[in-house]
Chain A
Amino acid sequence: MKTLRDTQVLFGRTMRHILRSPDTIITVAIMPIAIMLMFVYVIGGAIQTGTNVRYVIYLLPGILLIAVASGCSYTAFRLFTDVQKGILTRLHSMPVSRAAALWGHVLTSLISNLITLVIIVGVALIMGFRSSAGVISWLAVIGILVLFTLALTWLAVIPGLTAKSVDGASAFSYPLIFLPFLSSAFVPTATMPLVLREFATYQPVTSIVDTVRALLTGAPVGHDIWIALAWLVGIIAVAYALAMRIYRRTV
């Protein structure tokens, strides 16, 4: 009970941070939107996806993942700032649930990323994105994006707690932002050179992107969804265990 109440209070605090600097959400949304505009209007015309899906729909799942990856760099940044400013230490010397001090950040990360995703889907709608997906499919899409956000959030907690500098705290997200480019997010993997193709086929982003795209276009999801879920749950479990271990050690 105490944990829930403390989490709620601390969630309110970090959400207030975000509302005080809405540029955080806008900055996070702008880069993926720019990539989306560029790919759809500049490069997209030349890309053969091998499907009759409009390109804006084809690339949207990958764009959403990029947005979450860059959004989570701010999660690491906010946690890092709390550690540096001694706020975490202050909370730990108080009768405050230890878990709540972390879950406040995790929930904030989840909600702020979801807001960013809604903004990006809004822009995609303006660009002609339409989906025939029913309620169940949309719920599945949201569920997968929530899991993806949780996975990267718990990953972000690790540098947030351990980084020695601001740059170090957010650097973990750069390779993650890049990962969708080495997947089926923008072009079919079939045209890639062998080594890259093997990597792209088996890295988690491809199964997640393929699943979300199938759900949005009403295509059969096949067993991709199970591979995607396995990756997501696996990453969450490992990142959570690691993050909690480090958290307990930092007292």
Chain B
Amino acid sequence: MRDQFVPPAIELVGLRKAFKDVTALDGVDLVVRPGEILALLGSNGAGKTTTINICATLLRPDAGVARVCGFDVGTQPDQVRERISLTGQFSAVDDVLTGRENLVLIARLRGVPRPTEVAGALLSRFGLAEAADRRVATYSGGMTRRLDIAMSLVGTPSVLFLDEPTTGLDPQARLEVWRTVTELAHAGTTILLTTQYLDEAEKLADRVAILHAGRIIADGTLAELKALFPPATVEYVEKQPTLEEIFLAITGGEA
């Protein structure tokens, strides 16, 4: 298998992180293979953002190892930053600038050749060509999020972190983001996306890891997770169990 010769895109081993007396991560182990889309599913406060921030070199773990593309996040942050992009839980765009200027800015900072062309191409790809020269302050929530994701694709990073990319968006904008992520998947980008929405994980991800109270309590393909679902309960439902039911069963309904 080719995978054996390529390091995992993301590899987390025994990751722990506490904020004062709050334990955010309590030993997280996770492997994401190159080109895979993994949804990290968890309710509010489960530790999703903490996990992502450690992977994106923004936070140091108290214990454990995080490697991205084979590089240690703690000791080789520069190599990691060259290969990743982060779309944080809240859009980080400059709303005084136009959409185009935001993209050109990122392209110039990443040292990408021909920044204006790169910006133009991304604007069309994300359906922002018409709004390209308007200030971002005038954009809708969905447009802002798409620009935010477009900014993360400048310089074609091999690993993309999307932290709750659709939280707070209206249904229309949510569909737009879903379409974008699906397209990215075809382009071969490794994506670690976090979500509180079970249907989102179900829709977008190759594999789902459920994070609960700082631990990965289940990790597998949708089919594998469905197999975990207690058969006795399956009798009550005619259709296949949804991820929601699996999630509630595993977490004991306390989520």
Contact = CB atoms under 8 A, between A and B. Distances in A.
B15 interface: no
B109 A94 contact: yes
Contacts of A87: 92-94
Interface in A70-114: 85-87, 89-96
Determine which residue in A5, A10, A89 has the highest number of CB atoms from chain B within 10 A of its CB, and name it. Answer: A89
B81 interface: yes
B106 A16 contact: no
Question: Majority SS of interface residues in chain A?
Answer: helix
Interface in B71-124: 78, 81-82, 84-86, 88, 90-97, 101, 105-106, 108-111
Nearest to B157: A94
A37 to B, nearest CB: 32
B217 interface: no
B58 interface: yes
Question: Majority SS of interface residues in chain B?
Answer: loop
A13 B56 CA distance: 24
Interface residues of A, number: 21
B97 A93 contact: no
Contact of A16 (B78, B85, B97, B110): B97
A17 interface: yes
Contacts of A91: 109
Contact of B106 (A17, A89, A94): A94
Contact of B109 (A9, A16, A21, A85): A9
B92 A90 contact: yes
Given A87-B94, A90-B88, A96 B58 contact: no
A95 B82 contact: yes
Interface of A: 5-6, 9-10, 13, 16-17, 20-21, 85-87, 89-96, 251
Given A89-B92, A251-B58, 14 more contacts: A5-B111, A16-B101, A21-B96, A85-B90, A85-B92, A85-B93, A86-B90, A87-B93, A90-B88, A93-B58, A93-B81, A93-B84, A96-B109, A251-B59
